[in-house]
Amino acid sequence: MLTMRISFDSAAEFYDETRGPPKSVMDQLVKTLMDELDGYKTVLDAGVGTGRFAKPLQDNGFKVVGVDIAKRMIEKAAGKGVTNMICGDVCFLPFKEDSFDVAVCVHILHLIREWKMALQEVCRVTTKAMISIDYMRKNPVREAYNSILKKYGYESRRLGKGERELKNLVKPKSVPVASYETSADERLNHLGQRAYSSQWEIPEDVNRKVVSELKKQFWGRKFPQELHLLVWNVRDLEAYCGTFKSALS
Ligand SMILES: C[S@@+](CC[C@H](N)C(=O)[O-])C[C@H]1O[C@@H](n2cnc3c(N)ncnc32)[C@H](O)[C@@H]1O
């Protein structure tokens, strides 16, 4: 079976420059993640990307295995020293049941049409928790982008439900990481260069017009943001999506 998913091969060169919160917030995020992982050893990084999380976790002694369908993202991670990565689809994980204590699953489910299948697979190989991150406040620039885009007859592409939507279906523990300000300019620049996968099917001239309208409205402005870590109990997720674990395990 072939799943429908969005590979980030074409984003490998600009991914790190266009993603994530400011460095001080990222450091706090990694520290909070480390605190949550206290007592665990083995971690699956599902959709490891350029190793944003795998790298600091490996550096701090966790046994991390990363999986990603994008070879070029994996190469970027390898260039930073990340090891133990497999190029493959999280919907078909080549691991036995209960191979990992925890799965880190950050910004991947919305890229997979069979997102429930991915979730089932992650739960099958994980015993305790699945962890993700959530930006608690909607970004006004992004909201406006989507509505102006509709005016031109296009929609931002999302294949599956994201981790943010999952939190409304299965309740995780929500751990505050940091409150901080985000710059509209930075977001506008990233939207201008079509850095986000949801934009990759939007024609360039349409994107240019949308971003130019947005710039008039938002350039120079700042917005508050709040970052949380989401921690699901694997059992709760299994109760929602079903389990492939054998009854004897
Ligand atoms: C937005 S990036 C997030 C990367 C990393 N988790 C992070 O937070 O920096 C999503 C990653 O998921 C990968 N991906 C998408 N669908 C996938 C699938 N079905 N199996 C494995 N990786 C997938 C993409 O190639 C991309 O590297």
pLDDT mean over 106-132: 95
Distance 182 CA to ligand 1 centre (A): 24
The answer to which of 73-77, 92-96, 142-146 has the lowest mean pLDDT is 142-146
Neighbours of 198 (CB within 10 A): 20
Distance 49 CA to ligand 1 centre (A): 5
What integer pLDDT is reported at residue 19 of this predicted model? Answer: 86
Residue 3 has pLDDT above 70, yes or no: no
What integer pLDDT is reported at residue 72 of this predicted model? Answer: 94
Strands (E), the chain: 42-46, 63-68, 85-87, 100-104, 126-135, 173-183, 222-233
> Which residue of 6, 14, 57, 69 sits with most ligand 1 atoms within 8 Å of its CB, as the best mutation to test the pocket?
69
Quote the mean pLDDT of the chain. Answer: 92
What integer pLDDT is reported at residue 1 of this predicted model? Answer: 63
d(CA 122, CA 102) in angstroms, rounded, equals 9
Residues with beta carbon inside 6 Å of ligand 1? 3, 5-8, 47, 49, 52, 67-70, 73, 89-91, 106-108, 111-112
- Of 185, 183, 164, the residue nearest 174 (C-alpha): 164
What integer pLDDT is reported at residue 241 of this predicted model? Answer: 87
Residue ranges and CATH numbers for the domains of the chain are: 9-241 (3.40.50.150)
Residue 247 has pLDDT above 70, yes or no: no
